[in-house]
Amino acid sequence: MTRESAIADHGSHFYNQIFNQKEDTLKVNVDGTYLFVEKPGNFKEQRKTYSGQKHRNLVKPMMLVLHDGYILEVVGGFFGKRWELRCKHYEIYRTSN
């Protein structure tokens, strides 16, 4: 999908008014969520995916979503503590290569 087609198909006059933006501005929401997974049989994998906060095994993807719910990209899944930092490092690495 090109930037122009995203603006044409998924652009929002409402968001442009709220944020006082030009009509050709594309707004993308970055959202992280949890995906619960079955407990892995491998102990190292169990430790990577276990969340002490949720008391379950999970992975954490980061999604780039347009305001109408259209998903542009899913990045990850990331494991463990400080997953936001890992997401950021992934994006920096991806855009620099």
Give dist(CA 21, CA 80) in Å, integer: 37
Residue 93 pLDDT: 61
Average pLDDT over residues 85-96: 62
Residue bearing the bigger pLDDT, 73 or 94: 73
Instruction: List pLDDT tens digits, range 32-84.
Output: 888 888 998 999 888 888 888 888 888 888 888 888 888 888 887 777 665 56
Question: What's the CA angle centered on 32, arms 30 and 37, to 5 degrees?
Answer: 150
